Structure 1
Amino acid sequence: MAAQGTRWQTAISPSPICVPARASMLTGQHAHATGIMHNLCWLRPDRHKMGLRTWPEILATEGYRTSAIGKMHFYPWDRSEGFQHRVIAEDKRHIHVRDDYHHALAAEGFTKLHGKEMAGYHETKGACINPLPDHLQPDRWVAQRAADHLRSLRGDQPFAMMVGFPGPHCPYDPPAEALDRVDPSALPDPLPRTAESETHMDAHVAAYKRDWAGLDYSRLSAAQVRAIRHHYAVSVERLDEDVALLVETLRQTGRLENTIIVFASDHGDYLGDFGLMGKGFFHEPSIRVPLIVADFRAPAARVETAPASLLDLFPSFLHWAGAAPAPQAQGLRLSEPDSDRAIAGATSGGFMLRTPRWKLVRYGNGTQALFDLEADPGEQENVIDAHPATRAELDAALTRSLLQGFATGHADKAVAAAKSPPEGPFHDPFWQRPYPAPPATQ
């Protein structure tokens, strides 16, 4: 794909947590606008009354057949959110969800397994071996179902399909026979811990000790980090085969030359960088994601140096489909890069503003940091006291973004009739306030 499309050097997940990132990709809005700031939230069920539509809903009105295959992380898990067709394989941690993947396993006498039930999970802090047959490994099963769906398409109706691979993701659980495909000694060492990263350690350790993971990351040996990075790299390498299956299926069905494929992720993974695992804070290993757009209608290899945000996918999908721009979109079209762009981010834990050179972060635990990404790409030195003017400039831009997001997120409460209206129903007893406020009054 990269050899025939555009690869972004810097693509950012503004809210590097599964569910907030996915809500932003679906709606084109910041997490502080959707209100989805952590993994236990989801889009409000009355969002249509507020004029908030997902990109599959909009593309369906443009005549597209929309489908979602794999992990989506919606609540409820079988909600459509505008996709006309779904084949569901939810998060690997959600072993009790009776989705399509559950039924496929049961049909062959297997069940979903928690990482705790896999060999090596506790010894290597999450790097384990998935014992399922190859065709029932989560990512491979999703790829096969997506290929099946592509083969089932008939006629000339345009289609839009989102394929959500459950991995690479903790638990880091490739099959044993795949481990020798990557040399662990060739993998880079993790970034060192810093005084700033240590301020997040207590919350990080407490989160992973909970039942969903059951791991103690208060101590992480070099050997355990190597094993985790090895398993993750093997999972990435296998995913390359899964993506290749979809590209080849498009080629075999005669659709590739009229298809745009986007490869991205909802967040990164520390894999031991800063002594951390998973994601959730605003360091580069957590917020940086791959982004490749291969337009097989006009293949051409190029590298884009301007930064992109996952929020940019929503307006780009609409543009490629020929749909009108949606007022809710808060990102840029990928075809309109901005080399000086500042990208704001938010989670329930804190806020970020990142420019090509600088990154300002503020967390609920009181930690504040400024990093010079040009001089210190590994974010080893907090220079917030050394650059007061830069700090103030970024802080003002971050404040503007947050205020805009909060205004959008609370537009449902607007009462337009209260703006000194002429005599009318607003002044009468028992006037009924419309709620949520309709889009025209926002």
Structure 2
Amino acid sequence: MSRQPDILFLLPDQLRPDFLGCYGAGFLKTPHIDALAEAGLRYETCISPSPICVPARASMLTGQSAMGCGVMDNLHWPRPDRPAMGLRTWPDHLASAGYATAAIGKMHFYPWDISEGFDTRVIAEDKRHIHIRDDYDAALRAAGLRKVHAREQEGYVDGKGASISDLPEPYQVDRWVAGQAAEAIRAADPDRPLAMMVGFPGPHCPYDPPREALDSIDPASLPAPLPRTAESATHHAAFVASYKRGWADIDYSDLTDAHVRGIRHHYAALVERLDQDVGTIIAALRESGRLDNTIVIFASDHGDYLGDFGLVGKTYFHEPAIRVPLIVADFRAPAPGVEARAVSLLDLYPSFLDWAGVEVPCHARGRRLGDIDRDRIITGATVHGMMARGLGWKLVRYRNGTVALFDLTRDPQEQQNRIGDQPEIQAVLDHALTLAVLDGFAAAHADKKVAEAQAGPDHDFYGRGWQRPYPAPIN
């Protein structure tokens, strides 16, 4: 058995922390995820700086901010020649350090079947990408089944995305991913360290558990959504227009309390099933004899409004969209605890490398999870806007012209926009945003740097015909 720790990264899609027992949810049962928290460190406040699927994932993979890697929405992906610059993904670094690297499930790469440093991939992409011919699609076809658009599912239109999946149990997508991950763990070489990322397509919409999964959740026990505000209303038209497009084909212009209860009911059922899938994977680690040398990381790419502020999904910078669970259970020395200081998903990249004994490169914009501080300001951006969160406050600036400042200590539900009446804290957060934007610009254009212009007098740069190296290496 390798002395380097195995690293298992479990990443559900669109999971908010307050729908987990270990984060205080009493209306559902998540014993396997709770057990991870009881064996490790649970981070009370983990922030997704860019709360859209692809920007969040590209940032975690590369260690760069969304601005730095140039991935600001779901139609972007980092430049393919970035290894020539010295920009390597965390699995690529770990593979060079001797790890067997495997990605199981949803990764959201473009093209969808590239490796990005993983030696092995078993692919089950987004529930919305029904035309991708991935490994999950092949398994369905071999069983006489197929992927379907959610509008073919029972209840989808009337339930505003809360539907029923009638697939047989082994072919429910998260269950299939868990089975593939467990099989890969059992088949892994015991003499090589293993770094595995498991990407669950759920509980992302469509909110489509099998019918029987709903029985364990009492809809009356579910928390009510946060009220709409004047600030959140400025995003509503764009939100409705987005979901009317073909990928979702839902009209959220008339989202009622009953709709929200249904969505939350189905979402909670998916989370309970996700917990069972986590149990399957941890059991495989235990049965293979690897668990005692494994660091298990459980997180998500962003949250889900689930009706908060009259919104569904993510995209904007309210707490339900940017807050994600983060649990790090090091089974080499289990030690339960809770960390109250805020951390960022960008912190995973340097932490993965540090745990594997790999030097953290200069382009990494996160901090190792052991190096966080209480006064940190976490910044983030997408194509829709920018955020600076720290010192008990949050400043957001959106491309639609909306600007908001929230007192997260006295108003954690972000009901009162304090913009204009706290000039000192606003100035501090605005300065942090300015630095983040400038850093993002510099990182995004590092390929164009001509360092040779400052070379010594004997450098070929000063002669005719010198060829500029492109892209420029990071240093």
TM superposition score normalised by structure 2: 0.91
**Which position in structure 1 is the counterpart of 2:349?**
314
Residue 153 (str. 1) matches residue 188 (str. 2): yes
3-state SS of 1:135 partner = helix
**Which position in structure 2 is the counterpart of 1:200?**
235
**Which position in structure 1 is the counterpart of 2:447?**
412
**Which position in structure 2 is the counterpart of 1:61?**
96
**1:159 Cα offset (Å):** 0.4
**1:180 Cα offset (Å):** 0.6
Q: What is the identity, as a one-letter code, of the residue corresponding to 2:225?
A: P
Residue 95 (str. 1) matches residue 95 (str. 2): no
Report matched runs for 1:286-435 at 5 Å: 286-419=321-454, 422=457, 425-435=460-470
**1:427 Cα offset (Å):** 4.3
Q: What is the identity, as a one-letter code, of the residue corresponding to 1:197?
A: S
3-state SS of 2:376 partner = coil
Q: Distance in 2 between matches of 1:334 and 1:433?
A: 39
* More displaced stretch, 395-404 vs 276-285: 395-404
Q: Distance in 2 between matches of 1:429 and 1:207?
A: 53
3-state SS of 1:167 partner = strand
Number of corresponding residues: 440
> What is the aligned counterpart of 1:136 among 167, 171, 176?
171
Output the aligned Cα RMSD. Answer: 1.1
TM superposition score normalised by structure 1: 0.98
**1:391 Cα offset (Å):** 0.7
**Which position in structure 2 is the counterpart of 1:214?**
249
3-state SS of 1:192 partner = coil
Residue pair 1:93, 1:212 contacting (<8 A) in 2 also: yes
Residue 7 (str. 1) matches residue 42 (str. 2): yes
Kindly tell me: are residues 78 and 420 of structure 1, through their superposed partners in 2, closer, same or farther at Cα, counting changes over 3 Å?
A: closer
**1:420 Cα offset (Å):** 7.5
**1:432 Cα offset (Å):** 2.3
Q: What is the identity, as a one-letter code, of the residue corresponding to 2:345?
A: L
**Which position in structure 1 is the counterpart of 2:148?**
113
**1:59 Cα offset (Å):** 0.5
Q: What is the identity, as a one-letter code, of the residue corresponding to 1:244?
A: G
**Which position in structure 1 is the counterpart of 2:77?**
42
Q: Distance in 1 between matches of 2:264 and 2:149?
A: 20
Q: Distance in 2 between matches of 1:419 and 1:405?
A: 23
Q: What is the identity, as a one-letter code, of the residue corresponding to 1:269?
A: D
**1:419 Cα offset (Å):** 3.7
3-state SS of 1:278 partner = coil
3-state SS of 1:214 partner = coil
> How high is the sequence identity, in percent, across the aligned residues?
64
> What is the aligned counterpart of 1:175 among 210, 231, 235?
210
**Which position in structure 2 is the counterpart of 1:248?**
283
**1:174 Cα offset (Å):** 0.5
3-state SS of 1:25 partner = helix
| Gap runs ≥5 in structure 1 | none
Residue pair 2:363, 2:474 contacting (<8 A) in 1 also: no
Q: Deviations over 1:77-117 (max 9, x none)?
A: 00000000000000000000000000000010000111111
Residue 31 (str. 1) matches residue 63 (str. 2): no
